[in-house]
Amino acid sequence: MILPPAVREAVIAHARDAAPLECCGILIGTGGAIVAAVRAANLSESPSRFLIDPQDHIRARRDARASGLDVVGFYHSHPHSEALPSAADVAEATYSDHLYLIVGLAKDEADVRLYRFGGNAFEPIDSRT
């Protein structure tokens, strides 16, 4: 899966802007590449959870479709830990075969990892620039 540096940096910037809360957003692209990351409002009132605003999700789907692209996945941050799926991430993931990008901010350098949700678990995906 291709993850362009500009998209990676946009997601990291969103994670840092939202810290100490989690950020969330939508990944736009094609079957082999992510071409954009669209910020979404986090409707969760918890500092360690996220809930993508449904209006932002619908808007991103419409805009992607109008551009001949698709929603290929979602992203969120872990402001105080590594970019590993939490138990809540697994329990609340609902879009099988979609990508899930997690940004961990536990260290100075952001930890960015990409996964595909297989229906029951997150499988690591190799991302290239």
Domain ranges, residue 62:
6-67+86-106
pTM over 0.85: yes
CA 125 vs. chain centroid, Å, equals 13
Angle, CA of 99, 20 and 35, to the nearest 5°: 30
What does the pLDDT profile of the chain (129 residues) look like in tens digits?
A: 999 999 999 999 999 999 999 999 999 999 889 999 999 999 998 888 999 999 999 999 999 999 999 999 999 999 999 999 999 999 999 898 899 999 999 999 999 999 999 988 999 998 876
Which residues, 6 or more positions from 88, have their beta carbon under 8 angstroms from its beta carbon?
A: 49
**What total of structural domains would you count in the chain?**
1
Residue at 97 is within a domain: yes
Q: Where in the sequence numbering do the catalytic residues fall?
A: 22
Residue at 41 is within a domain: yes
What letter represents residue 9's amino acid? Answer: E
Residue at 91 is within a domain: yes
Residue at 128 is within a domain: no
Residue at 18 is within a domain: yes
